[in-house]
Structure 1
């Protein structure tokens, strides 16, 4: 079970991503997760990890999201790893 801090950070990052229409569309295009899928699967580590991976794969978004959330970009990467079953949070 992933640490709830990683879950919370991922949810905040997902909300940040979805707040911008163009970025939200890129997330949908990249992951194939449509709004109904996202809503239904918000508690799944794989979905949260995919949202963070989306940011990780586009450094300008990763850096901007981290700045807006008040965390270092490395925290988002660490949360993704924790959700993916990699490194502990």
Structure 2
């Protein structure tokens, strides 16, 4: 995978994270399911493993995956492919 592909996947994941955190219920669910806290997210915001987990979180709940993709103006599969890219 090229550096540009990695950067694009990370940018998309960061946008998805922002989308998640803008909704208190969604954010609380993310924190509960991942065991992270706000400080943990802040300190690891550029960690590909964290960003992969964020996209995996969306993948595990299709309504959120679709809503996030719509807001970010990308097809849902783009979020899935970004997660796969970060997993490599």
1:33 to partner: Cα distance: 1.1
Task: Give the corresponding residue for 1:65.
Answer: 68
Task: Give the corresponding residue for 1:46.
Answer: 49
Task: Give the corresponding residue for 1:83.
Answer: 86
Task: Give the corresponding residue for 1:24.
Answer: 27
The gaps in structure 1 that reach 5 residues or longer are none
Q: If each structure's helix is expressed as a fraction of its own residues, which one has the higher value?
A: 2
| CA deviation string 1:58-87 (max 9, x = no partner) | 0000000000000000000000011111xx
CA distance in 1, matches of 2:57, 2:23: 14
CA distance in 1, matches of 2:81, 2:34: 20
TM-score, normalising length from structure 2?
0.94
CA distance in 1, matches of 2:49, 2:6: 13
After TM superposition, where is structure 1 displaced by more than 4 Å over at least 4 residues in a row? none
- What is the RMSD of the two structures over their aligned residues, measured on CA atoms? 1.0
TM-score, normalising length from structure 1?
0.93
CA distance in 1, matches of 2:27, 2:73: 21
